[in-house]
Structures are given as structure tokens and as C-alpha cells.
Amino acid sequence: MKKTVLFALLLPLALTACGGRDYLLKEGQTEITVAVSPTPHGVIMEKAAEILEADGYTVKVNVFTDYVLPNLATESGEVAANYFQHLPYLEDFNKNNKTHLVSVVAVHYEPLGIYAGLKSDLANVESGDIIAVPNDTTNEARSLLLLEAQGLITLKQGVGLEATKLDIIDNPFNLDIVELAAAQITNALQDVDFAVVNGNYALAAKLPSALVLESKDSLAATTYANLLVVRDGNQNHPAIKALADVLTSEAIKEFIVDTFGDAVVPVF
């Protein structure tokens, strides 16, 4: 069966409410559509589609550039699954939108890294240096934890992934921590000394290697692994189970490592 991979930026889907159980995959269905973010999710899913072709499955990959439409499309049955989000985002989305989405399997996480701006070595940090961090709640907390792990700041004990700048209790270098939209930080590297950048944005901007990355056993890594997600009721369909098996296979692990290096880390 020939594989089909479709890429569609902001695909205009008719996200009308489904009546009855129209969102359920049909018995014996071998063609499925998966909504993904461009990189690395789309690249990984394209490779999975190639592998699944040998098992008689056709995977259509629809690429989205936002984080709302993929979940709405999965809820309505316009797509069979999506692959772009972590569990805290999924749970929050379900709560706020009354959707019924469930995780099938965790595939990878994209570590935040500290990247060079005007300075190229953390050993050269000086008083008053400017460090840009993402301004959204989740990634700002991860950024502060990463800075703390490097001995640059100290946070209140136990704040974990709810940390904000107000939780900094010691700032020995008097760092100026500037909050910016995550997608804009790579454009600001020429104006700051260092920056904490999300893995997907670092890949898109083709940044050189990070000076330091979140460790694989960090709180962020174990919490923010990216998931294959379906509408509840489809998780045990043979096509979804086959896709989950491929996404957590040695072949995909090797592909991720070879393609993305330390910017994308398998969690299986």
C-alpha cells in the first residue's frame, strides 16, 4: 500500500461537532491521518510513516503551526491522532475545552538549552549580564530551574515547575532576566548575553550547540515528554497501536539521535 504524506500549514479543517461516535476509527481501517508540529514532530512522523508502509498502513501527516487546531481536529475525528504536546498541556486543554483526548505513548522531549548571545561561555558570566527566558509559565519555570542547576541563581525550595522570577532568593551575578515570547528569543540573541531557548525553536533557527541542556533525568524531562494523542476510544485501534509501536522502536530512536543530536531526546 502506497504511503501518503501530506503537509498543510494551518490546514483549514471543518471542525464541526461530531454527532454520535463518528470520531471512532473504523474496524479494519488502515489509513490514518496524524496532526503534527513541523519540527521535530513532522520529521519523526514522516519516518514512522515509511516504516508503517511495510505493515500495510498509510499515514497522512498534516503539519500545523499552532497548538489548538490539532487537538480540535483530533477531538472531532478530522484526524485520527496528533503528536506535538506534553501531558500538562493536554490535561489543561481537556479541562478548558471539555475535550476527551488521551495519551497513547510518550516519544521524546525537547530539552531547553542555554545558548550563546553576546557571550559564548558561561564561565564568563559577569554582574548585570542579560539572560532572555521564555515568558510562558511552563517554560519560564524550566528556564529558571536550568539556570539554578548551573549555579547562576537560587530559587525558593520546592517551587519546582511553578517557579517565577519572584521565587529567586539569590542572584549572585545580579543577572537581568528578561522575559520574551519563546518564539522571539532566537531573534534577540544579538541583544542579550545568553538566552534559554526551546529545542524546537533552536532547531528551526539552526542554532549551534547549546552551552548546556536540561538533563535527561530532570524534572522537566520526565514531565514534558511529547505524546502521541488520540480521542478517547481510539487508543486500542490496531492502526494506532501499530503507530505507537513504531514511534517507540529502536529504529525511531536511532533516527531521532542521528537526525537531531542532543536537541531531541527519546524517552523510551
CA distances from 88 to 95, 137, 145, 161 (A): 11, 12, 17, 11
Domain ranges for the chain? 31-110+224-266, 113-214
Q: Using CA atoms, how far apart are residues 70 and 64, in angstroms rounded to an integer?
A: 7
Which residues 6+ apart lie within 8 Å of 171 measured at CB?
153, 154
- CA 133 from centre of chain: 17
Q: What is the pTM of this model?
A: 0.76
For 103-149, what is each residue's pLDDT tens digit? Answer: 999 999 989 999 999 999 999 999 999 999 999 888 899 999 999 99
Residues 204-248: pLDDT tens digits?
899 999 999 998 778 888 898 999 999 999 999 999 999 999 999
- What is residue 8's predicted lDDT score, i.e. its pLDDT? 41
- CATH fit for domain 113-214, picks 3.40.50.620, 3.40.50.1860, 3.40.640.10, 3.40.190.10: 3.40.190.10
Q: Does domain 31-110+224-266 have CATH number 3.30.465.10?
A: no
Per CATH, 31-110+224-266 and 113-214 having the same topology is answered yes
Confidence band of 20 (pLDDT split at 50, 70, 90)? low
Given the DSSP bridges, would you call strands 194-197 and 101-109 parallel, antiparallel or unpaired?
Answer: unpaired
Q: Which amino acid is at 75?
A: E
